[in-house]
Structure 1
Amino acid sequence: MSEMLSIIQLGNPILRQKAAEVENIQDKTIQKLIDDLMVSVREANGVGIAAPQVAQSYRVMIVASRPNLRYPHAPDMEPTAMINPRIIGHSSTVNKDWEGCLSIPGIRGLVPRYESVEVEYTDRNGKKQRQLLTNFVARIFQHEYDHFDGIVFLDRLESNLDIVTDQEYQKLVVNNI
């Protein structure tokens, strides 16, 4: 039975660790982790989640873009589990846009990210996949990928002036789009 996992917060040392590669994707523990991450990202109104955010230091992420309260203009996609992903190429174009994090509640930041990334990963069935991700979905991937190396979005900010509270984000960005 899948369950909502507790999401750890900034300050927990696991968020700053390098995550381990998954050796056996078919291991029952890893398959349950994937199921639980799927539930957790949905229940928390997120668009992505990485295993380190639930105190499991593995290179497993869910990319699950969809419109919700936190990202009302997000594109809709089928939630995708990505195991041991790698960035194999990226655009030269970098865009700044707003990001938040389930592990850093209450604030948003304007984060520079590649506009598109080409990625390889293994799916939950053990099959190698290769995809070109663009715009918001590319941003989600890069955000979650950073969690594998102990990086949070605040580390990517160009200035502390690029930080706002969620309340101001809702007033300034969401309600004015």
Structure 2
Amino acid sequence: MAVMDILHLPDPILRRKAHKVLVFDKEFNKLADDMIETLRAAPGVGLAAPQVGVSQRLIVIEYGEEDEEGKEAPKKLYVVANPEIISTSEQIVNGVEACLSVPNLVGEVERYYGITVKGQNRKGKPVKIKAQGWLARVFQHEIDHLDGIIYTDRATEVWKPKEGEDYAAD
């Protein structure tokens, strides 16, 4: 496994629609492993293949909710090829987002509170994921990357965080 370079705006790959994953071979699985290692090294909660210069519809997300006592639950890892949002909640919520490809900025973005995503796992088998809250936000953010959309395109406000403010980057 290897840590990959994360592209930053205005790199044109970040603005292109990524290609569908058709082959789930060793090379594809190495890309997934390298993306996971890159995500953890960044550190971030989500990463899309275009962010590491690969125009494929692949996302990796590693996220754990806090429990009632404020302790972080074990993180769950998602590796999803060809993700597609197939249903959304009616409820839309505002939240602050950051991005590994847009360093030193954060923004207020409206997203669906809940979504259902279908895609394929590392072996090409169908998967369906129901996500709510922050996890749903991360999936929407990463799927946007696959279509050349950056969170700043959807933000109602963008700003440079003050010293000491910490935001999870997708």
Same structural fold, with TM-score higher than 0.5 when normalized by the shorter chain: yes
**1:73: Cα distance to partner?**
8.8
C-alpha RMSD of the superposition:
2.1
Q: Where do residues 57-68 of structure 1 align in structure 2 (5 Å cutoff)?
A: 57-66=55-64
Partners of 1:110 and 1:138 lie apart in 2 by 15
> 2:36: which partner in 1?
38
* Count of aligned pairs: 164
> 1:111: which partner in 2?
109
Name structure 2 gaps, 5 residues minimum.
none
Q: Does 1:167 align with 2:162?
A: yes
Partners of 2:4 and 2:90 lie apart in 1 by 37
The DSSP-based 3-state class of the residue aligned with 2:116 is: strand
The DSSP-based 3-state class of the residue aligned with 1:99 is: strand
- Once the two structures are superposed, residues 39-78 of structure 1 have per-residue CA deviations (whole angstroms, 9 ceiling, x without a partner) of 00000010000000000000000011148xxxx9976432
Partners of 2:106 and 2:71 lie apart in 1 by 16
TM-score normalized with structure 1 length: 0.86
Partners of 2:119 and 2:30 lie apart in 1 by 18
Q: Where do residues 145-160 of structure 1 align in structure 2 (5 Å cutoff)?
A: 145-158=143-156
Counterpart AA for 2:152: L
The DSSP-based 3-state class of the residue aligned with 2:123 is: coil
> 2:94: which partner in 1?
96
**1:168: Cα distance to partner?**
5.3
Alpha-carbon distance change, 76 to 168 in structure 1, aligned in 2, over 3 angstroms: farther
Partners of 1:75 and 1:164 lie apart in 2 by 30
**1:125: Cα distance to partner?**
2.0
Counterpart AA for 1:108: V
Partners of 2:154 and 2:73 lie apart in 1 by 24
Name structure 1 gaps, 5 residues minimum.
none
CA contact (8 A) 1:94 1:112 kept: yes
TM-score normalized with structure 2 length: 0.89
Q: RCO (CA 8 Å, sep 6+): is it higher in 1 or 2?
A: 2
Counterpart AA for 1:144: E
Partners of 1:169 and 1:47 lie apart in 2 by 19
**1:157: Cα distance to partner?**
1.2
Alpha-carbon distance change, 11 to 73 in structure 1, aligned in 2, over 3 angstroms: farther
Higher helix proportion (structure 1 or 2): 1
- Once the two structures are superposed, residues 58-103 of structure 1 have per-residue CA deviations (whole angstroms, 9 ceiling, x without a partner) of 0000011148xxxx99764321100001110000111110100000
Partner of residue 52 from structure 1, selected from 50, 53, 68: 50
Partners of 1:74 and 1:105 lie apart in 2 by 25
Alpha-carbon distance change, 77 to 59 in structure 1, aligned in 2, over 3 angstroms: same
